[in-house]
Structure 1
Amino acid sequence: MRRRRTDSADARLIRRTMLRVGLQSAAAVLVTVLLLGVAVIMVVSHSARNDQNRSLATAIAEADDVNDPPAGTWLVIRRAGRTQASPGLPPGLPDEAAMRQAEHDGAPRTAEVSIGDRRYRIRTEQRGDAVIQAVYDLRAAEREARGLGAVLLVCGAIGMLLAILTGAWVARRAVTPLIAALTLQRRFVADAGHELRTPLTLLSTRAQLLRRHLRGHPAEAEVDSLVVDAGQLADILDDLLLAADPRQEAQPRPFDLAALLRDAVSAAEPAADQRGVRLEMIAAPVQLQGFEAGLRRAVNALLDNGIRHADSLVRVVLGSDGRHVRIDVTDDGPGIDTDVLPILFTRFASTPTTANPSERRRYGLGLSLVSEIAARHGGTVSARNHDGGGATLSMTLPTGAQR
């Protein structure tokens, strides 16, 4: 029986990372080999031309007759209208034009000439009453150049293969611990979410039962808000569980961001009243493509931060330019400590906890989650102090945000 192989998302991530790093390493090696190959060929070609010119100049300087030229070289001597050539001089040579010009002006000249499928380097000089032309066959140099190119090609292919294997090996060693940490994090989130699901379900059920018993009671509105808050908390928990599940991926959906802000402000009013802080909101309907539960967590964190630091007022403003939306949460408190401001959205970047025993302990995670949720939507976060006191925390998101 044939067994079907199933791969986890983490295993697929490892393989993709290995392949990506391997290909990037291969690309780097390929570029390096190409650059080195071009440099080597240029240096070798320049050196070969210099050697050829020296050989031609030496052949001309030692040319007593045309019968014993250096290997791969032919000599042509013209004196008093009489021309002598080395045996086996290729057809189409000598270069009559170069010899006539040398007879006319006496200047030495070197050129490359192609005759048929063969190339020659020719040097023509006037020595005394004779014009001497040395012809060098470039076939041997071309064979050496082709051999060098083949060696570079083979070395490049071997280097690319080794780079792919080495890059994949290094990537696996580097990524495997990260994947293990990610798996542990997902397991923790999944376990915590599962454990919270039961008490949250009980809380929601009891809130709904309480609402039934309080029909017509003045406290009915508060119980309705409690039911809504329990439902939103369940949505947040589902979003966390979905993020921890590597088998599936949430898809962004359109929703009214202004309505989400109104619900969040309404839910935050009891906490604001307890501190004597007034909440204001300015927002027109804005449709956003994103993850509603995650953004609700981010907005709640911004409101919680503003309420804790405000003296009397927190203002929430939602603006849009068509392509981006921006949420500004402004408080009239003392502002953000200048030492904390650069790292405000990093984990555990909170200011020292208050000495008030009734004050809930802070862990410096809320605003870092805001930053991560904004990044998940392709957005950014920022913070700034105001000259007259107070601070504004902003979250900017593209209207068509993608994961």
Structure 2
Amino acid sequence: MTTGEQGLARRAAVRLGAQATGLAAVLVVVLTAVAVVVLVEAQRAQVTAQLNGAIARADDVDDPPTGIHLLLRGPAGVVTASPGVPDGVADFAALAEAAAGGDPPAVERNVGEVQYEIATQRRADGTTVQAILDLTANHAERNRLLATMLVTGLLGLLGAGAAGTWLGYRALAPLSAALALQHRFVADAGHELRTPLTLLGTRAQILRRRLRRSSDPDEEALGEADGVVADAARLTAILEDLLLAADPRSERATEPVDLAAVAHEVGRAAGGAVRVEADARAVVRGSPVALTRALTALVDNAVRHARSAVTVAVHTDGGRAVVDVTDDGDGVDPAAAPRLFERFSTGARPGDSGRRRYGIGLALVAEIAAAHHGRVELVPTPTGATFRLTLPLG
């Protein structure tokens, strides 16, 4: 591959790597969100179990479980507390509510920078117990797990990006080699064809000059010579356009093109069987050679299948130029219609016979239309077939 082709392959591989990283990022975010929800719910269940267990087993306040403070209120209303209960953390209102037969919910309370979970219950023996759990250890464990998940996710994203780029480059290598081979073939074929075309044009011009200098010029022969010169120039332009189209790094030069004028030119070249209806200009921006090729292919397809007449109608519709190429033939086989614009799909019509066709013309029209931000389609008609080329006005 050339340096430019290697650069294209590398950029494509980087794009694949970025896409893999983006997909991995979405998966990591979703999995992390699920893991966080599960972790928080598990910790909440664990906290509830610790508080309920401490309340059920509490017989005094002197030896509470690690990380838990206890308050006991006896039937006489006397409240005792574990040593070291932080000021302001006890919920005396909940104690009074539970002692009166209520069922106060568990609450969280912040004292300073420490968060506590407080649960209060009245036991069957008439004692009301309040358990206060310091959540510092729970939060530390949760933060440690979240940090681990974050680091692991970032490493996974970096690995996914690197692996996606590497795999993309490996996957694209055969395709890049095939494209490079195709490009070299087209370039070589173009170079080999350019020389005989140049010679053909030169000889035709010499012949035309000699005919003009003759004392009794043959007007018919002179007209044919003019046609050969024009055809040689047209073939050279088509060859240059094909070479540009085959190189993904090149860009066609664009200019205003009147599709009505192109339609008249193509109609004249096709002969008297083609009627062109184009009363107004339909100017688009694009490659004159490519657009001429597209209309020529559509007209050639219509002439080949028409019984007696082909109509090319050019008009504008809003901000778009529309070209309808219609023939009065037998129409298109509905089974073949979906594949008409695929390469090597001939889209045979009823009664087709004769030399083999390769199904490239309509595919080239579709590619040219797409390159000009337009489209080509088969329009349903009662008889015959109508192909519509639609392009944005320039």
TM-score when normalising by structure 2: 0.91
2:370 is the counterpart of 1:397: no
Question: Size of the alignment, in residue pairs?
Answer: 385
Write the deviation string for residues 153-197 of structure 1: whole angstroms up to 9, x where unpaired.
Answer: 111111111111211122112111111111111111111111111
Q: Tell me which of 246, 257, 270 is aligned to 1:244.
A: 246
The gaps in structure 2 that reach 5 residues or longer are: none
In 1, the alpha carbon distance for the partners of 2:43 and 2:324 equals: 70
Write the deviation string for residues 123-158 of structure 1: whole angstroms up to 9, x where unpaired.
Answer: 011224332110001111101111111111111111
Equivalent residue number for residue 267 of structure 2 = 265
Equivalent residue number for residue 332 of structure 2 = 336
The gaps in structure 1 that reach 5 residues or longer are: 1-5
Q: Tell me which of 293, 302, 305 is aligned to 1:306.
A: 302
Q: Is the 8 A contact 1:109 1:125 kept in 2?
A: no
User: In the alignment, residue 255 of structure 2 is paired with which amino acid?
Assistant: R
Aligned pairs for 1:57-206 (under 5 A) are 57-79=52-74, 80-127=76-123, 128-206=125-203
User: In the alignment, residue 297 of structure 1 is paired with which amino acid?
Assistant: R
Residue 354 of structure 1, CA deviation: 6.1
Residue 323 of structure 1, CA deviation: 2.3
In 1, the alpha carbon distance for the partners of 2:339 and 2:356 equals: 19
Q: Tell me which of 216, 234, 237 is aligned to 1:235.
A: 237
Write the deviation string for residues 376-396 of structure 1: whole angstroms up to 9, x where unpaired.
Answer: 222222114532x21011122
Q: Identity, % of aligned pairs?
A: 45
Moved more, 77-86 or 366-375: 77-86
Q: Tell me which of 200, 209, 212 is aligned to 1:212.
A: 209
Equivalent residue number for residue 295 of structure 1 = 291
Q: Is the 8 A contact 2:260 2:278 kept in 1?
A: no
Partner of 1:397, secondary structure, is: strand
Residue 245 of structure 1, CA deviation: 4.1
Residue 227 of structure 1, CA deviation: 2.8
Equivalent residue number for residue 3 of structure 1 = none
Write the deviation string for residues 267-309 of structure 1: whole angstroms up to 9, x where unpaired.
Answer: 222xxx5xxx343333521221112211111111111101111
User: In the alignment, residue 77 of structure 1 is paired with which amino acid?
Assistant: L
In 1, the alpha carbon distance for the partners of 2:233 and 2:29 equals: 61
TM-score when normalising by structure 1: 0.89
Equivalent residue number for residue 49 of structure 2 = 54
Residue 28 of structure 1, CA deviation: 1.2
Q: Tell me which of 36, 39, 46 is aligned to 1:44.
A: 39
In 1, the alpha carbon distance for the partners of 2:274 and 2:392 equals: 29
User: In the alignment, residue 264 of structure 1 is paired with which amino acid?
Assistant: V
Partner of 1:230, secondary structure, is: helix
2:9 is the counterpart of 1:14: yes
In 1, the alpha carbon distance for the partners of 2:146 and 2:253 equals: 52
Partner of 1:109, secondary structure, is: coil
> Aligned Cα RMSD in Å?
2.2
In 1, the alpha carbon distance for the partners of 2:384 and 2:249 equals: 44
2:369 is the counterpart of 1:374: yes
